[in-house]
Structure 1
Amino acid sequence: MKNHLYPLKFHPILKEKIWGGTKLKTILNKHNNSPNIGESWEISDVDDDTSIVSNGELKGATLKQLLSTYQEELIGKKNFDVFGEKFPLLIKFIDAKEDLSIQLHPNDELARKRHNSFGKTEMWYVMQADEDSNLIVGFNKKITPDVYLKHLENKTLTKILNFEHANEGDTYFIEVGRVHAIGAGVMLAEIQQTSDITYRVYDWDRKDDQGNERELHNDLAIDAIDFDMDDDFKVLYSTQENQSNKMICCPYFTTNFLHLTHTIQKKNSYDSFIIYICVEGEVSINVEGFYEIIKKGETILIPAALKQFKLDSNNAKLLEVYI
């Protein structure tokens, strides 16, 4: 017999990375003794990395099991018609102690053909940034494939890349085909399609403990780069209190910014789950008598079947995500 659905929290899946640091532990309270945790996967249905419920009667169930049992009650009818028993989004926190590799992601068509996967459209919301830290997003001028390949060969790729100074609250839309990298000193929330397909094109010539460089994917990448993209990656958004302010609306997800200073009633009219990512403060969520709190660095999934709920905080900032 099925349990009644309620707001679901999940155990974070922590990932050691060559470029990772300690901010996920010290700032976001993720418990781990490793000195180089680069990612916390908050909600994931990636193969071999499926999230496990950490609260309530469904504690211990995997996201895959929830999808199999609840189907459209969990993710909404239109989402279930499109994605079936595959959760469509991957939610992460990322801490870059060192620069990440310069990389890009393929579109749906290429990813399906080459990897039997979704593409990887994503967005970044900067939660904390050290002084003088940067993000790499796109090129700093119009580039042809030939020019790009010449710079790649000469190890001068950084000369044609666009560096953006990182500040808390900055938001970037990273479409498939856009070259990008998170710079040292940046901690951010990432919302993306469920995919783990990354084409790494340059890794700063660094080596691991065994003296090996990480694999590059330049043969695959050259067909996946979109050289004709507009420079419309920086997202401007309103921060009006106690209402959902639109940040990004694309076919793969909608993300709103919500600065709460008192109790608000929310109505889910989207035929979709809603995910709340707490990026500052803490907020209580009340649904039909079920009460849950999320704090900075925590994420919660409101199933599609739950149509009305209350959010309460005297000062919290949330990212609100749905399809």
Structure 2
Amino acid sequence: MPGLYPLKFKPIFLEKIWGGNRMKSALGKDYGTLPNCGESWELSAVEGSVSEVSNGFLAGNSLTELVEIYMGELVGDKIYKKYGIEFPLLFKFIDAQDNLSIQVHPNDELAAERHNAYGKTEMWYVIDAEKGALINSGFNRQLTRDQYLDYLKNGKLPEILHYDKTMPGDVFFIPAGRVHAICKGVLLAEIQQTSDVTYRIYDYDRKDANGNVRELHNDLALDAIDFSYLDDYKTKYTVTENQSSEMVSCDYFTTNLLKFSKEIDKDYNSVDSFIVYMNLDGRFAIEFEGGEEIVEKGETVLVPASLETFNLKPLTQEVTALEVYIK
């Protein structure tokens, strides 16, 4: 059997009431005639939405099938031992032409108890943002449970939310329990645990195409919310050209920003993890023993754990990509 190689997958496009058209204009995605494309699930093992390989001899195989067959060769031995055949992360692009609902995600313990699922800790990297566009992350004051309920019952929840004006390059880490929302005018990349458990707590009294108000989950959300307050919710990081610059590192994933204009040799012998690249701008090649894979703007590629050394070669003047693995 031929060896593993950098794997691309067919995106799963989702129509959303708040979606737009920048998947096509900014990322070069072809989602056909789908109106209001809000999400592109780039790499997913969520039940019912499992990604399928689009390149090479493994084309047509699902991500779950690959983990089952290749185990630690694909994901890394320590990751396979912990998660089994469940690929642990979900990668998305999100285009918000309107405000998303204000929501919160449960942690692992609560999600396991209620939904037999993992919780959802996630992060956002802002690719593009209209002038004045906002991100909600957390509260703007310390709150008690009763104070929160008072604002919620009186329809005044937005008054206690913290909003940041956002611009390209901003990073927000959203641990499970933190109330959050992407607001209109933002295009971003999202890295998260493999989970689709979301509690919607406020939706601006918005109605769907059939005139129905969307379901809220306030009873479930109450036990999931972290009511604590932070002075600053935006992640600070520094970028060094032509090397990986760490932005977020947690138990579930590490995400680096990689801006490069010259060839970079990568050695992941000590990591024991798959590597995922989300290409945000430019074009590059992954050169490995046995071949190369070209990665276009807007594409996401999974480098198997067994490819411990490879070379990244820019094919445009500069490349900007997210680099994700599990420590």
CA deviations over 1:146-165 (Å, ceiling 9, x no partner):
11111111111111101111
Question: Which residue identity is paired with 1:240?
Answer: T
Match of 1:48 in 2: 48
- Between stretches 68-77 and 280-289, larger displacement belongs to 280-289
Contact 2:137 2:163 in 1 (8 A): yes
Long gaps (5+) in structure 2? none
Q: How many angstroms apart in 2 are the aligned matches of 1:203 and 1:142?
A: 23
Within 5 Å, which residues of 2 pair with 1:40-119?
Answer: 40-119=40-119
Match of 1:282 in 2: 283
TM superposition score normalised by structure 1: 0.98
Question: Which residue identity is paired with 1:105?
Answer: H
CA deviations over 1:138-185 (Å, ceiling 9, x no partner):
011111111111111111111110111110000000010000000000
CA deviations over 1:83-124 (Å, ceiling 9, x no partner):
000000000000001000000100000000000000000000
Question: Which residue identity is paired with 1:139?
Answer: F
Secondary structure of the structure 1 residue equivalent to 2:7: coil
Match of 1:318 in 2: 321
Secondary structure of the structure 1 residue equivalent to 2:223: helix
Match of 1:172 in 2: 172
CA deviations over 1:262-310 (Å, ceiling 9, x no partner):
0010001200000011111111111113211112211100000111000
CA RMSD of aligned residues (A): 1.0
Secondary structure of the structure 2 residue equivalent to 1:173: strand
Match of 1:39 in 2: 39
Match of 2:300 in 1: 299
Contact 1:138 1:231 in 2 (8 A): no
Long gaps (5+) in structure 1? none
Q: How many angstroms apart in 1 are the aligned matches of 2:229 and 2:251?
A: 18
Q: How many angstroms apart in 2 are the aligned matches of 1:165 and 1:85?
A: 40
Deviation at 1:233, TM superposition (A): 3.1
Contact 2:27 2:280 in 1 (8 A): no
Secondary structure of the structure 2 residue equivalent to 1:305: coil
Contact 1:3 1:58 in 2 (8 A): no
Question: Which residue identity is paired with 1:14?
Answer: F
Secondary structure of the structure 2 residue equivalent to 1:24: helix
Secondary structure of the structure 2 residue equivalent to 1:224: coil
Match of 1:250 in 2: 250
CA deviations over 1:39-71 (Å, ceiling 9, x no partner):
000000000100000111111110011011000
Q: Does 1:204 align with 2:207?
A: no
Deviation at 1:35, TM superposition (A): 2.4
Within 5 Å, which residues of 2 pair with 1:144-163?
Answer: 144-163=144-163
Match of 2:265 in 1: 265
Q: How many angstroms apart in 1 are the aligned matches of 2:231 and 2:138?
A: 7
Question: Which residue identity is paired with 2:304?
Answer: P
Secondary structure of the structure 2 residue equivalent to 1:256: strand
Q: How many angstroms apart in 2 are the aligned matches of 1:232 and 1:304?
A: 35
TM superposition score normalised by structure 2: 0.97
Secondary structure of the structure 1 residue equivalent to 2:216: coil
Q: How many angstroms apart in 2 are the aligned matches of 1:247 and 1:8?
A: 24
